[in-house]
Structure 1
Amino acid sequence: MSVREYLAVSGKANLSLARGNTSQASGRPVTTRISAFDSHFHLDRSLVKLGMPYYSDIRTILDADVGIRPQVEVDVVGGVLIYCDPETYPTSFPAQAGFGVAVGLHPRKTARFNPELYRHLKHLLRNERVVALGEVGLDRTEPSDTWGLQEEVLTRILELSSPCQPIILHIRDGEDRQSGVLYLECLELFKPNVARTQKVVLHCFTGAQEVVVSWCKAFPNCFFSYSGQARLFTEAQKQAVRRIPANRLLIETDSPYFRPAGARMCTPSFLGDVANIIASYRDSEVRDVCQLNLRNSTQLFGLEIA
């Protein structure tokens, strides 16, 4: 299914959920608002899309009117703000309880890497509000002549990894490659460069069950985070969702990306819609998925909810 087809049908698939706030898995109504944690969203990029300064407050994006309301409304009580563009690296950090910051270098920005940037990343990672290194990784949708540099830069950045700060990985393969190949290639790059005890988050995960098994075997502290992209999953990908250990499951919006049909962009407020997709695959409830993610995320990133 193309992105255009997805945008055309996704708003219709769960129309009944918008009326009565129900779980797709059970059809029973959700009677109270659910506390939720967005494990991955881009505040800077989201604010720019809204035409606002990239350093604006978190509440600005949480309260943003993007044209439609979520089908499953939640209270976003925490999250991880991802800064992976050198031009918008944070100069101040959120004071709100429950929210932390991750800093990294997106693989599309690897040409910006130099010794000064390396030192700046190292400095930022020492801040107590920075809870993770990321996002970093490999992106094969970029021109092939950049792939070698991506691997070189990722290897250098991994020198900054620490057991107390999870690494958030972006792994995106080209459409003409077998699904899951790049996850396993990246795993082989990780093995000699990262401690086995390192906490790792495979952000916006799309892999099948064999990828889950391989990463968990090599890195027992590996987590798998799902976004709204999960709505397009194949049966093999859905099977992987069902088999993720409960204490290794995360959800995210990756805002401003994966916008719902009818919305100008995605925001963390749509996390309940992501939870609804994952709940349907795991034969679970939206509330259970949100609570599971909240517990896993706050423990992983060392954050406390007010």
Structure 2
Amino acid sequence: MHVAIGFHPKKASQTPALREQNLIAFRTLVQDSHVSAIGEVGLDFSESSHVWQDQEDLLNDLLPSEIDSKVLVLHCLGMGSGDSVYAIRHLLSILQRNNIPEHQPINFHCFTGNKLMEMWLPVYYNTYFGFTRLVKTYNKS
């Protein structure tokens, strides 16, 4: 059995005490040999903008965890109307600032970025993309 553990971005705005308690549990669990993936983690800009910084802070707290041989399962939603450009670019910059290596295995869960794959793959070439029904709205050019 393989296990994934994560901290969904919608849970980033917990009370400081609860968040710290959950981070401690996360850091302990990620050490377990049965854990093969971290996620889903990331950014969800479909939430109110007043929690975006909480989401970024949480992601910065999670990324230094032992992800070396684990798959990173990313969640990234834009502000609505299929607009995920800002969110995906911001997520990419956070991963780079946290020195996530270019060979990191990544599962980009529910990817809605259309042509943004062309921007993402040169940086993180070991990424697999999962799509939702929104894939039918993608521009083919």
Are the counterparts in 2 of residues 137 and 154 from structure 1 also a CA contact under 8 Å?
A: yes
Trace 1:205-284 onto structure 2 (pairs within 5 A): 205-209=111-115, 211-227=116-132, 229-230=133-134, 233-236=136-139, 239=140
Normalization by structure 2: what TM-score? Answer: 0.85
For residues 4-83 of structure 1, what are the structure 2 equivalents within 5 Å? none
Are 2:63 and 1:158 aligned?
Answer: yes
SS in 2 for 1:159: coil
Between the two proteins, the alignment pairs up a number of residues equal to 137
Checking the alignment, whether the CA contact within 8 Å between 1:110 and 1:149 is kept in structure 2 is yes
Q: For residues 9-57 of structure 1, what are the alpha-carbon distances to aligned partners after superposition, in whole Å with 9 as ceiling and x for unaligned?
A: xxxxxxxxxxxxxxxxxxxxxxxxxxxxxxxxxxxxxxxxxxxxxxxxx
Matches within 5 A, 1:74-223: 99-112=1-14, 114-176=19-81, 178-193=83-98, 194-209=100-115, 211-223=116-128
Aligned AA (1:182): A
Identity %: 27
* Alignment partners' CA distance in 2, 1:162 and 1:178: 29
Tell me how far 1:119 sits from its aligned partner. Answer: 1.9
Structure 2 counterpart of 1:143, one-letter code: S
Q: Letter of the aligned partner of 2:102 in structure 1? A: R
* CA-CA distance at 1:128 after TM superposition: 2.3
Partner of 1:174, secondary structure, is coil
Larger Rg: 1
CA contact (8 A) 1:163 1:197 kept: no
* Residue type at the aligned position of 2:78: D
Q: Which has the higher contact order (CA 8 A, sep 6+)?
A: 1
What's the CA shift for 1:168? 0.5
CA contact (8 A) 1:134 1:168 kept: yes
With over 3 angstroms needed to count, the CA separation of the structure-2 counterparts of 1:144 and 1:199, relative to structure 1, is same
Gaps of 5+ in 1: 1-98, 241-306
The 3-state SS of whatever aligns with 1:217 is: coil
2: distance between equivalents of 1:213 and 1:235? Answer: 14
For structure 2, list consecutive stretches of 5 or more residues without a partner in the other structure.
none
Q: 1:171 is aligned with what amino acid?
A: C
Which residue matches 1:34? none
More strand by share: 2
SS for the counterpart of 1:160 is coil
SS in 1 for 2:63: helix
Deviation, 1:197, is: 2.3
How far has the Cα of 1:206 moved from its partner?
A: 1.5
| 3-state SS in 2 of match to 1:233 | helix
User: Who is 1:85 aligned against?
Assistant: none
Take 2:66 and 2:127, find their aligned partners in 1: how far apart are those partners? Answer: 14
Distance 2:122 2:109 in 1: 18
Change (3 A) 1:177 1:224: closer
